[in-house]
Amino acid sequence: MSQSPFLALDGLVKHFGATKALDGADLVLEAGSVHALVGENGAGKSTLIKTLSGLYQPDAGAIRLDGQPISIDGPRSAEALGLRFIHQELNLVPHFDTVDNAWIGRRHPRRGPFIDGRAMRARVAEVAARIAPDLPLDKPAARLTPGQRQMAEIVRALMEPARLVVMDEPTSSLSEGEAERLHDIVRQLSAERCAVLFISHRLDEVVDLCDRYTVLRNGRTVGAGSVSDTSRAGLVAMMSGTEIAGTASGQPSLPLWERVGERGTASVSPDETIAAPAFPHPNPPHKGEGASGQNPVLAADLGFGPAGSHVSFAIRPGEIVGLYGLVGAGRSSLLKTIWGATPGRGLIALDGQVPGPGPAGRIARGMAYVPEDRRREGLANSLSIEQNLSLAHLSDFRALASIPAPSRAKIRAFAQATGARLRLVAAGPDRSPATLSGGNQQKLLFGRWLGRPIRVLLVDEPTRGVDVGAKGEIHGEMRRIAADGAAVLMATSDIEELLALSTRVLVLHAGRLVAELDGPSLTRAAVVAAAFGHAPDEQMPPSERSA
């Protein structure tokens, strides 16, 4: 690897209509290194790896493998070169088990003209034994935990010898323990001389895990080097371009929702509340008696999901209550039950009153919900970005209060304001959410509820895949909503986020509340201990697990 690096991308350019997703992206990868690719939402990371995987053809620029210029004209040819991809959204077939998923797109082993199920399984078992011995092979992907699905994707990637595995935000939906597992696998791959290109917004993880980094901003490489020569803060500065505010050349060509100018001055600390800009509320914000009163805004006493699960708690105005637990503890089902989207047993009360049935009844009482799975539960791709933003409370946008016909101008104004507030990067408010980068889709999902009186906000992984800057903004919004007298219930697997935002933390284990932590008792160690304490066998380090 002395003269020519294993893989080099030179000045890649990729347009989508008027959007310049890549605008001179360079990347140099050494064999066997763990290389971080970082950048804000919409910086072009996913586009870059989709170009490398042959899904997109670059408009300009070169890709060189072992010093030789190559062209990658489809996923098959990338595969043949030993390049493997784990894309940002999980891409398993839900009703296929691990074995069937691992073989999709590969030449199956055969007996005569027919596929040989036993040989298929044996091969997958062999690969899995090396990296994830406890991964169930016969369960459909739909019934695996997010961590297991990630493992299944990695197993699929390693079915044949690989020279490079690209992982696009693999840890964004994993809990601590699961992320650790994944890091171990990455280190193991690197030790076996397989390079890893690792995309993540969790910068601490990047600093821990990676040897080298490349920073993309507005589709262009703005920094690269050895991780040991930089720091978390250095990466953040490069990503946001704090020092080089307003770089005209680096913008995406249609910064519809203002971007660079403002960014230069904005703080990017994830924990800082950003002063809310003037913001047109379709209705004035609700300043209820709750702001000072001590009556709980939300009281719940209910069974949900699997039999035997039962929780009972109350949230007072102004509180942000964090909900933590291992994967499978029931956080998401609890939120969905409170939201009325899945049936539960028991009662919830909002400001002392039982809300009407289903989500509509909750919305009418000022409840809001941001679901976990943006692709499946969140966004309607057949509607435009602005229509998605207005969807949850269409009646707020009526031109005439008595006629149920939304005003396009009002929706547009709301979309502009929300977009600016969350710094949504999009080609235009009338485009499909499918054209947004992953982090921007998350912002869209959250933005839906802004500018609306909220009494109770339920959020499930509010900042999954969101860059540090936008994370700060989303956190700021949540704090503002709480400060307005609302109750916020937040499920997150990101412990930093949990500790930074929560006034109180409820720990869920197997459908029951096992701990309530606040004040001095609210520490990282206490949270983790409570989540794991009752199930020590779920947290064995990989080396102690048997196949």
Partner 1 sequence: MILLRRYGTLFALALIVLVFTIASPQAFGTMSNLINITQQMSLLAIVAIGATLVMVLGEFDLSVSAVVSFAGIAAAALFAAGVPVPVVMIAVLVAAVAMGAISGFLVARYRVPSFIATLAFGTVIGGLTFWISNGATMFSGIPAGFRDLGRGTLAGVPVPTLWLIGTAIVFWLLLDQTEFGRRLYAIGGNREAARLVGLPVRRDMVVAFALCAALAGLAGLLLTARLGSAHPTGGGGYLLQAYAAVFLGMTAFREGEPSVPGTLVGAAIIAVISNGLTILGVPSFLQDLLTGAIILAAVLVRNFGRDGD
Q: How far apart are CA 196 and CA 211, in angstroms?
A: 10
Binding of residue 221 to Mg ion (CB under 5 A): no
For 124, the 3-state DSSP assignment is: helix
Beta carbons of 385 and 426 less than 8 angstroms apart: yes
Which range, of 35-43, 139-147, 304-312, 363-371, touches ligand ATP by CB under 6 A? 35-43
Q: How far apart are CA 449 and CA 283, in angstroms?
A: 12
Q: How far apart are CA 83 and CA 514, in angstroms?
A: 45
CB nearer partner 1, residue 287 or residue 345:
345
Q: H helices of 85-202, where?
A: 98-103, 117-131, 146-157, 176-191
Residue type, 258: E
Binding of residue 419 to ligand ATP (CB under 6 A): no
Q: How far apart are CA 324 and CA 531, in angstroms?
A: 7
Give 366-409 as a DSSP string.
TEEEE-S-IIIII--TTS-HHHHHHGGGGGGGBSSTTS--B-HH
SS (H, E, C) 302-349: EECCCCCCEEEEEECCCCEEEEEECCCCCHHHHHHHHHCCCCCEEEEE
Site for partner 1 in 292-331 (CB under 8 A): 305
Binding of residue 439 to ligand ATP (CB under 6 A): yes
Binding of residue 85 to partner 1 (CB under 8 A): yes
Beta carbons of 381 and 372 less than 8 angstroms apart: no
Helix (H) or strand (E) holding 1: none
- Identified binder of ligand ATP from the candidate list 6, 12, 19, 487, rule CB under 6 A: 19
* Placement of tokens 């509320």 in the chain: 281
Residue type, 70: I
- Identified binder of ligand ATP from the candidate list 24, 252, 469, 511, rule CB under 6 A: 252
Binding of residue 27 to ligand ATP (CB under 6 A): no
Partner from ligand ATP, Mg ion, partner 1, none binding residue 74, C-beta < 5-8 Å depending on class:
partner 1
Angle at the Cα of 272 from the Cα atoms of 269 and 276, rounded to 5 degrees? 120
Distances in whole angstroms, Cα of residue 291 to Cα of each of 231, 248, 285, 487, 502:
41, 44, 12, 10, 18
Binding residue count for ligand ATP, defined by CB under 6 A: 24
The angle that helices 468-483 and 408-422 make with each other, rounded to 10 degrees, is 110
Q: How far is the CB of 63 from ligand ATP (least distance, A)?
A: 17
Site for ligand ATP in 81-100 (CB under 6 A): 88
Q: How far is the CB of 303 from partner 1 (least distance, A)?
A: 13
Partner from Mg ion, ligand ATP, partner 1, none binding residue 425, C-beta < 5-8 Å depending on class:
ligand ATP
Q: How far apart are CA 481 and CA 488, in angstroms?
A: 8
Q: How far is the CB of 75 from partner 1 (least distance, A)?
A: 3
Q: How far is the CB of 318 from partner 1 (least distance, A)?
A: 34
Partner from partner 1, Mg ion, ligand ATP, none binding residue 108, C-beta < 5-8 Å depending on class:
partner 1
Binding of residue 376 to partner 1 (CB under 8 A): no
- Identified binder of partner 1 from the candidate list 280, 343, 356, 541, rule CB under 8 A: 343
Partner from partner 1, ligand ATP, Mg ion, none binding residue 343, C-beta < 5-8 Å depending on class:
partner 1
Q: How far apart are CA 84 and CA 247, in angstroms?
A: 34
Binding of residue 124 to ligand ATP (CB under 6 A): no
Binding of residue 437 to ligand ATP (CB under 6 A): yes
Which range, of 101-109, 186-194, 260-268, 440-448, touches partner 1 by CB under 8 A? 101-109
Angle at the Cα of 260 from the Cα atoms of 258 and 262, rounded to 5 degrees? 70
Q: How far apart are CA 295 and CA 301, in angstroms?
A: 16
Chain centroid to CA 521: 29
Binding of residue 58 to ligand ATP (CB under 6 A): no
Binding of residue 280 to partner 1 (CB under 8 A): no
Site for partner 1 in 24-53 (CB under 8 A): 53
Binding of residue 239 to ligand ATP (CB under 6 A): no
Site for Mg ion in 21-50 (CB under 5 A): 46
Write down the number of H helices and E strands in the chain: 17, 21
Residue type, 238: M
- Identified binder of Mg ion from the candidate list 19, 33, 51, 88, rule CB under 5 A: 88
| Residue with smallest beta-carbon separation from ligand ATP | 439
Binding of residue 104 to partner 1 (CB under 8 A): yes
Binding of residue 425 to ligand ATP (CB under 6 A): yes
Binding of residue 100 to partner 1 (CB under 8 A): yes
Partner from partner 1, ligand ATP, Mg ion, none binding residue 181, C-beta < 5-8 Å depending on class:
none
- Identified binder of partner 1 from the candidate list 27, 28, 92, 415, rule CB under 8 A: 92
Binding residue count for partner 1, defined by CB under 8 A: 30
Burial 120-149 (b: 16+ CB within 10 A, else e): bbebbbebbeebbeebebeebbeebebbbb
Binding of residue 357 to partner 1 (CB under 8 A): no
Binding of residue 79 to partner 1 (CB under 8 A): yes
Residues that bind ligand ATP (CB under 6 A): 16, 19, 21, 39, 41-47, 88, 252, 425-427, 435-440, 465, 467
Residues that bind Mg ion (CB under 5 A): 46, 88, 437-438
Residues that bind partner 1 (CB under 8 A): 53-55, 74-76, 79, 85, 87, 89, 91-96, 100, 103-105, 107-108, 113-115, 140, 142, 305, 342-343
